[in-house]
Structure 1
Amino acid sequence: MTDQNQWQNQAWGTGQPQGAPAVPGASPAASPLQGQQAQPQPQARPTYAAPQPAYAAPVAPAPAPKRRGWIVGLAAVLAFFILGAASIASCTAVMTSSVGAFSYESSSWADTVTGDTVGVINIDGTIQYDGTTSSPEGLKAQLDAAEQNPHIKAVVLRVNSGGGVATAGEEMSRYVRDFSKPVVVSCASLDASAAYMISSQADYIYTAETSAVGSIGVIMSVTDLSGLYEKLGISVDNITSADAKDAGGGNRPLTEEERAWYQAQVDQINDVFIKTVADGRAMTEDEVRALANGLTYTGIDAVENGLADEIGTLEQAVAKACELAGIPDADTVHLQSSTSDLSRLLDIMGEQNEDTTTRALKELEDRVGLE
């Protein structure tokens, strides 16, 4: 689901979700939630996410490179930002930070092709608002470019993602659904949660036998640090306009009424997820709900239960895209990785050569207009 510290209207609206059930046992006068629009805290943002299986040994960390004083200072600022964002957003990997919208690279790939072409767009990593092709704004830019270019006859989405922010997944699924040319998905190792919500809108889905597919469901993480604060002798006094304004703020546990409120929102968003998949896969909502246990399926099982169409490779997905577009064959254009400024900065901090680091940071400084 960019202002990352705000819940997005697509998922939440500006107050109580439509159709959210009333909390049992709460009288109108006693409810701490009346008289205000519910504004959940960033700690309680719902997400679609799934763990990713891996067959690999841990990689030993690289030795820390030498850096000049200003580079160390920049690293310290970055570390402060990351730690601050992590403490605010809880310990959930799919929570996103409070940076503004990042830039995405130009879609010139779609403007230079000639002849019948299939465009391949990568959706890789967390679904969020960061400007890459794993974000609504980045994906839309590439789909719009492909839509407007008469030589691009179809698009293949190469998906390798465990999910992310619910609203971002919803928006991206709409862009795929409304795209006028054929869309074929090629699942890599993981196509789960918000990523699968997007994939479900394609015309055809290929998966590997060992891919992890599905994980239909919603999670909302609320961190309670009150016990830790007590041990450290820290007290927090919140001055609020309503009793529930600090719900999910981390300095106290949720009340039963607040928990029921958030559960109603999670259930409502899950219903949106299920309906989206049902519409995209030509299944009934009951059929999808029976599969919506929050877990992933192997590619083999996904083909059997209807979440995917066929076991196959990226090359087969391209061939299928040609078939759906009514062309015998086509050139293939792979979109270059679209990288956010934050991702670029993190890459820079791992550089081993001081001169390379300095030069790369200078390029980034020029790019974002730092003084």
Structure 2
Amino acid sequence: MDKDNEKKEGQEEDKNNSSSLVQKIQQLGQTNIPQVPDSNIHVLTIIGQIEGHIQLPPQNKTTKYEHLLPQLIAIEQNPKIEGLVILLNTVGGDVEAGLALSEMIASISKPTVSIVLGGGHSIGVPIAVATDHSFIAPTATMTIHPVRLTGMVIGVPQTFEYLDKMQDRVVNFVISHSDIKEEKFKDLMFAKGNLTRDIGTNIVGKEAVEYGLINDVGGVTEAMKTINNLINQEKEQSEQVIQ
């Protein structure tokens, strides 16, 4: 009986291992997940479309903001995490959800750094600038355009007032968390002829830095050096306060 039980347990373990292996292949395209040592820096990815109050179709690659909010709280509360790096490759999405994430990131007491990889479009712009220091890859792009609504719009003055106020919220957040001037940001937002049959501006890598929207052009190496420097500076300040 004992041998039969051991055989069944062995078969179940093999089955579980096989199922786990299939999941790894489906999710990561590889059989072995690289082992990451315990780190004092947490990496958060925001990719695809930012999903807010309306659930998007299953074929859309999305980042659900209700998944990120508790993660940000956990990062703030965890004493082992001393810094946060945010990787951005997003087409934008829900405005209020994006602003909620931006405000959460900006309010974290620990050092934060963002990297725009590929694209940080639309509502991805305030998320990118919400950190203490921001980077953009040389080939990455950022699309700046007015707030848009999809679906049915009630054609009354209150609707347009609401859109204006929402747009002001985005503009005010961006200019208060970056070095870009309000006039310049609005010029980019309402530029005509830059986007096909639309208004707005698409800026690439170095341009985002020249406008003062992003701090530096760079990638992983530069971001890790910066976050470590910020962490060390905070430790030094804490030690001085204690003394």
Give the partner amino acid of 2:169.
V
Q: Deviations over 1:200-258 (max 9, x none)?
A: 21111111121111424211234xxxxxxxxxxxxxxxxxxxxxxxxx38xxxx7xxx1
**Contact kept? 2:180, 2:213, Cα under 8 Å:** no
RMSD, aligned α-carbons: 2.5
**Contact kept? 2:51, 2:62, Cα under 8 Å:** no
CA distance in structure 2 between the partners assigned to 1:284 and 1:304 by the alignment: 12
1:211 aligns with 2:108: no
CA distance in structure 2 between the partners assigned to 1:318 and 1:216 by the alignment: 31
Residue 325 (structure 1) aligns with: 231
Tell me the TM-score normalized by structure 1.
0.45
Match of 1:266 among 134, 147, 163: 163
SS at match of 1:152: coil
Residue 183 (structure 1) aligns with: 112
SS at match of 2:79: coil
Structure (1/2) with the larger helix percentage: 2
The number of aligned residues is 182
Residue 175 (structure 2) aligns with: 278
Tell me the TM-score normalized by structure 2.
0.67
Give the partner amino acid of 1:276.
F
Match of 1:173 among 98, 102, 106: 102
SS at match of 2:177: helix
CA distance in structure 1 between the partners assigned to 2:180 and 2:73 by the alignment: 28
CA distance in structure 1 between the partners assigned to 2:113 and 2:131 by the alignment: 6
Residue 200 (structure 1) aligns with: 129
SS at match of 1:209: coil
**Contact kept? 1:133, 1:139, Cα under 8 Å:** no
CA distance in structure 2 between the partners assigned to 1:135 and 1:296 by the alignment: 25
Match of 1:119 among 21, 38, 42: 42
Structure 2 spans left out of the alignment, 5+ residues:
1-35, 56-60, 191-199, 234-243
**Contact kept? 1:173, 1:201, Cα under 8 Å:** yes
Match of 1:220 among 113, 124, 149: 149
Residue 221 (structure 2) aligns with: 315
Distance change in 2, residues 1:121/1:133 (3 Å): farther
Mapping for residues 1-371 of structure 1, pairs under 5 Å = 114=38, 117-129=40-52, 134-222=63-151, 248=152, 258=155, 260-293=157-190, 294-326=200-232
Q: Deviations over 1:43-66 (max 9, x none)?
A: xxxxxxxxxxxxxxxxxxxxxxxx
SS at match of 1:326: helix
Cα deviation, residue 197, structure 1: 1.5
Give the partner amino acid of 1:181.
K
